[in-house]
Structure 1
Amino acid sequence: MSKIFRMTAIAAFAALAASASMAETMNMDVKASVTGTCKLAAANALDFGALDPVAAPAVTGKTTTITYLCTKGKTPAALTINGGSGSTTSSMVHATVVADLIPFSLTWSTTLPAGLGMGTGKEVTVTVSGDIAAGVYSNLTAGNYSKTLTVDFTP
């Protein structure tokens, strides 16, 4: 019996030693969350150029761009210029004769494309078109006219 007991004890010890040295495996999750966001990248100037007051034709089709970045797939909520959504009107003012004004109108798309990412070269462009009606600048003081508009961008 003692031989059987010894062999059983040796087998039990071997099994215990083997189980103690066996590796165990478990899964570990690694997580992150990317926040959906947007930011305005640039609001470029619109230059109507030199205006000829003799003929004073309408000036149409002048364009500029506004660019933004959004997280890939995020669509911004709104882009407004001077509070207008898709169009606005205002007037440029002479540099020194504040009574002299050149009225103009701007239009742009209110359907804003989803973002392509926040990295370099991923900017989304919105084209802004400007027009000046015929004759509105024929009796004005020569010189520079300008107007600063507010561009609001809602992510």
Structure 2
Amino acid sequence: MSSRTLSRWIAAAALSSCSLLSWASDTATMTVTATVVGVCKLVSVPTLDFGTLNQATAPVVNPPAVNVTYRCTKGTPPGSFKVGTLTSGPFNGVLSNGTDTITYTINWTPPTTAGSGLGSGVTPIDVPLIGSMPGGANYQNVSAGTYTQSVPIEISP
């Protein structure tokens, strides 16, 4: 066999092995997934301020409502909104200066508006909280000072 014939056989064998390699290949598709869990987040929780109380006349005090704002995952409404541990009002609170106490209430309507997302450009949703403080003896005979209470606000989808 001549070297030329041998070269042709080697080239033919190389070409046929290349075609065998292409017959051995395979393709498939891969599934890619992600799961978004619905969430609700409080954006702002303002202070409910009953202002300076006048013990001489001791009127009922109804300050302007304050808006707690929230955002939820698009299409997700709040499943629970709590003031203190309550999902509906009124919440009965007690302000204290460490010695004396003053009672008050907070009322609200549980929110049902679904969110439109959590990102920038999304307008938060308001939940008005309406405070009321009885007058008269509720605060007529307490000592001077600042009265406070921390009230937890909670939202969940």
Output the TM-score relative to the length of structure 1: 0.72
The question of whether the paired residues in 2 share the 8 Å contact of 1:78 and 1:112 is answered with: no
1:33 is displaced (CA, Å) by: 5.2
**67-76 or 100-109, which deviates more:** 67-76
Match of 2:128 in 1: 127
Is the 1:59–1:131 contact (alpha carbons within 8 Å) kept by the matching residues of 2?
A: yes
Rounded to whole Å, the distance in 1 between the matches of 2:113 and 2:63 is 22
Unaligned runs of 5+ in 1: 1-27
Q: Establish whether residue 53 from structure 1 lines up as the match of residue 55 from structure 2.
A: yes
Q: Where does the alignment leave 5 or more consecutive residues of structure 2 unmatched?
A: 1-29
Once the two structures are TM-superposed, the CA of residue 36 in structure 1 deviates from its matched residue by 2.5
Per-residue deviation, 1:112: 2.5
- The equivalent of 1:92 in structure 2 is 95
Alignment of 1:58-97 (within 5 A): 58-87=60-89, 88-94=91-97
Alpha-carbon RMSD = 2.1
> Partner amino acid for 2:110?
T
Deviations 1:34-53 (A, max 9, x none): 44322122211111111100
Aligned amino acid, residue 42 of structure 1:
S
Identity fraction in percent: 31
The TM-score normalised by the length of structure 2 is: 0.72
Query: What CA distance in whole angstroms lies between the structure 1 residues aligned with 2:133 and 2:142?
Result: 14
Offset, 1:61: 4.5
Residue 138 of structure 1 is aligned with which of 130, 137, 140? 140
Partner of 2:111: 111
Q: Deviations over 1:61-114 (max 9, x none)?
A: 4321211111121101011111112221011101xxx23111000011113211
Amino acid at match of 2:95: M
Q: Paired residues, what number?
A: 126
Asked if 2 retains the 8 angstrom alpha-carbon contact of 1:116 and 1:124, the reply is no
Structure with a larger share of its residues in strand? 1
Whole-Å separation in 2 of the counterparts to 1:122 and 1:32: 26
Partners of 1:84 and 1:131 lie apart in 2 by: 17
Q: Which consecutive aligned stretches of 4+ in structure 1 deviate over 6 angstroms post-superposition?
A: 28-31
